[in-house]
Amino acid sequence: MADSYEALAKTIVEGVGGVQNVRGLTHCVTRLRFTLADPKLADTEKLQSTDGVMTVIQAGGQYQVVIGNKVTSVYDAILNQYDIKGEGEVEPDPGQNDLANADDKKDNTVSRLMGVMSSILMPTLPVLTAAGIIKGLTALFAALNVLDTTSGVYMIMYAAGDGFFYFLPIMLGYTSAKHFKCNEFLGAAIGAALVYPDMVNIASTLDVAGSLFEGTPFQMDYYNTFFGIPVIMPGSGYTSSVVPIMIAVWFASKLEHFFKKHLGEMIRDLLTPLLVLAISVPVTYLVIGPVVQGICGVIFMLISALFNAGLVGGLIGGALIGGGFGVLVMFGLHWVVISLGLSNIALAGFDYVMAAGGIGPMIGMAQGLCITLRTRSKKVRDLALPSFLSQVMGVGEPLMYSILIPLKKPYAINILGGAIGGAIIGALKGKIYVFGGSGLFGLANYVDPSGDPTNFINCCIGIAVGMVATFIIQWFAYDFEAEKRVIGE
């Protein structure tokens, strides 16, 4: 088996243009994500026809090779065979341009932004998912009176789950620093400053010192000042926040590079981190944090207005997100939406967006099961059954790339089923309270920590209707000729 991984690794590296063309490599659950010096050197057609490669996607500034559940083994095989640093860069050949040629400049701002967010969030995904599952299940057991919220079991397990989310800015400070090529512990230190208890609890320990925009919907109270400048804090501080720390570390990386270049060698190592922290933390609290949280607050108000605009608003919002989220996943562009969901949870304690967007694996479960039972092709069944099991665990790419997209009609049915389920969740104002597991484990995300089962029941109704509708439509719309023509017997 190891030999097969090494052979596939060799083929993939050759297919992306050789080791000299690889500037960075990370991986997610199913994809190898390359940053290439010159994407034109990659042989996409060859890679797509390689046994073991499902497809190739170019999005978010990355060259993504989708290979399914064996991605970690192939990733390790690449690192073992080649001088490529995982989650880092290799030096390009002398004389090679940073992005090869001007055509790469066409990679627009939105695409680059998605690539940055993906790179920063991706390393946290396994632990973020595990922590979310623990937190969601602990809340579920408490709501079912299986656990007493004052018991040691509840308190310790909830800490195991919630602790990661509470201190998320520290984790993202570290991964942001790796992405922006600055001292990782500087990034973590900035994150730690954002969740420092005295600042998080400032509203409960100090009296209101003043208000900005008083008498308007944007009125903001502040409790202290920094050299006379108001320190504006969100209600729960910056715990669990996502975007502020990313921008803060980007700013800090610019400072670090500047000081390292201009400070003398004798004082550089001491003064650089000192100056970076002394400047970046106040700037984050005074400018970056309030501006970003203000923008996120406006976005959340707009989303809330849509989902609360009667039955029609919820139906439209839920249908668009439930049906469209899988399209974003196909191109690897879903991280911006996930970041928005995490920000909403940090701001309000819940999120509408991922409540509808997170039903994709459940829709895929219904579709994978239907295809397994309905197909007449052994080859399709051999693909569908393990893909169905992957959907149970929340991994959708194997089904998407092995069956849905090649056969086309099932992919349209998948979007339709997601839209149906998402519309019902949106109409019922379904929410998630934590971003954790996916597939069956994702059900815990809908548990209201207060113990009220209404939201959980409403979301389960939407999921169930979407799954049943998808199964029925897929059953009666199954195209046996297409499976024979495209995949074979």
Residue 93 maps to which CATH number? 3.30.1360.60
Structural contact between residues 171 and 189, judged by C-beta atoms closer than 8 angstroms: no
The confidence score (pLDDT) of residue 275 equals 96
pTM: 0.69
Q: Which of 300, 323, 347 is the last residue of a domain?
A: 300
Q: Structurally, how many domains does the chain consist of?
A: 3
Any alpha helices (H) in 284-334, and if so which ranges? Answer: 289-307, 310-330
Percent of the chain with pLDDT over 70: 90
- Record the tokens describing residue 149, joined without a space: 């919220």
Q: Which of 107, 133, 158 is the last residue of a domain?
A: 107
Question: pLDDT for 86-121, tens place per residue?
Answer: 764 333 333 333 333 334 444 455 566 766 777 788
The confidence score (pLDDT) of residue 61 equals 72
Residues 334 and 288 reside in one and the same domain? no
Q: Which of 90, 107, 124 is the last residue of a domain?
A: 107
Structural contact between residues 80 and 29, judged by C-beta atoms closer than 8 angstroms: no
Give the residue carrying structure tokens 């680059």.
Answer: 112
Mean pLDDT over each residue of the chain, to the nearest integer: 85
The confidence score (pLDDT) of residue 462 equals 96
> Could you tell me where the beta strands, DSSP code E, fall in 156-203?
none
Question: pLDDT for 342-355, tens place per residue?
Answer: 888 888 889 998 89
Average pLDDT over residues 446-475: 94
For the cut 70, the answer to whether the pLDDT of residue 1 exceeds it is: no
Query: DSSP letters along 135-157, please?
Result: HHHHHHHHHTTSS-TTSHHHHHH
Domain that holds residue 199: 167-300
Structural contact between residues 407 and 480, judged by C-beta atoms closer than 8 angstroms: no
Residues 274 and 200 reside in one and the same domain? yes
Instruction: Indicate whether 123 belongs to any domain.
Output: no
For the cut 70, the answer to whether the pLDDT of residue 15 exceeds it is: yes
- Return phi, psi of residue 38, to 5°: -140, 100
Instruction: Indicate whether 141 belongs to any domain.
Output: no
Helix, strand or coil, per DSSP, at residue 69: helix
Residues 417 and 316 reside in one and the same domain? yes
Q: State how far Cα 179 lies from the chain centre.
A: 16
Nearest of 171, 350, 173, 328 to residue 244 by alpha carbon: 173
Average pLDDT over residues 471-477: 95
Residues 330 and 475 reside in one and the same domain? yes
The confidence score (pLDDT) of residue 105 equals 41
Question: pLDDT for 399-450, tens place per residue?
Answer: 887 788 888 899 999 999 999 999 999 999 999 998 877 788 888 899 998 8
The confidence score (pLDDT) of residue 99 equals 30
- What count of Cα atoms within 13 Å lies in the side-chain half-sphere of residue 378? 1
91 secondary structure, DSSP code: P
Round to whole Å and give the CA distance between 231 and 199. Answer: 10
In this structure, the strands spanning 62-66 and 31-36 are antiparallel
Helix, strand or coil, per DSSP, at residue 42: coil
| Burial 420-432, CB ≥16 within 10 A → b, else e | bbbbbbbbbbbbb
For the cut 60, the answer to whether the pLDDT of residue 254 exceeds it is: yes
What does the angle CA 54 – CA 55 – CA 56 come to, to the nearest 5 degrees? 145
Helix, strand or coil, per DSSP, at residue 61: coil
Residues 294 and 320 reside in one and the same domain? no
Helix, strand or coil, per DSSP, at residue 450: coil
Round to whole Å and give the CA distance between 462 and 366. Answer: 14
The confidence score (pLDDT) of residue 108 equals 55
Residues 326 and 230 reside in one and the same domain? no
Query: DSSP letters along 385-439, please?
Result: HHHHHHHHTT--HHHIIIIIHHHSHHHHHHHHHHHHHHHHHHHTT--BS-----G
Question: pLDDT for 296-319, tens place per residue?
Answer: 778 888 888 888 887 888 999 999
Round to whole Å and give the CA distance between 384 and 372. Answer: 5
Instruction: Indicate whether 144 belongs to any domain.
Output: no
